[in-house]
């Protein structure tokens, strides 16, 4: 499951730097989460870091992107391979 930032977001800027996959970015009105990059921190942490730091509790599970833990772990591994490929290509 990817997470989703709702319109209750107050743009406090605490979630974006906490995301280990760089899945959070500023949208037109408030922050948004790229479901292709969101692993709910599986592979990095035990709990989603954005949820942990959000002062208004506006980051629920995105019902449009339901994924089990194994799928999230596979996504994490794929993102890690891509990250290594990008860093080696720029070296």
Up-side HSE of residue 11: CA atoms within 13 Å toward CB? 5
What pLDDT is stored for residue 88 in this prediction? 59
What pLDDT is stored for residue 91 in this prediction? 53
One digit per residue, pLDDT tens: the chain, 91 residues?
Answer: 799 999 999 999 999 999 999 999 999 999 999 999 999 999 999 999 999 999 999 999 999 999 999 999 999 999 999 888 765 566 5
pTM of the model: 0.87
What pLDDT is stored for residue 86 in this prediction? 64
What pLDDT is stored for residue 45 in this prediction? 97
Domains of the chain in start order, with CATH, are: 16-89 (3.30.70.20)
CB 16 within 8 Å of CB 25: yes
């Amino acid at each position: 499951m990817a997470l989703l930032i709702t319109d209750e977001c107050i743009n406090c800027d605490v979630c974006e730097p906490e995301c280990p996959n760089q899945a959070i970015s500023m949208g037109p009105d408030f922050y948004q989460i790229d479901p292709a990059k969101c692993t709910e921190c599986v592979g990095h942490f035990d709990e989603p870091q954005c949820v942990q730091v959000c002062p208004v509790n506006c980051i629920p599970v995105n019902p449009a992107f339901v994924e089990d833990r194994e799928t999230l772990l596979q996504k994490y591994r794929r993102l890690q391979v891509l990250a290594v490929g990008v860093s080696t290509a720029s070296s």
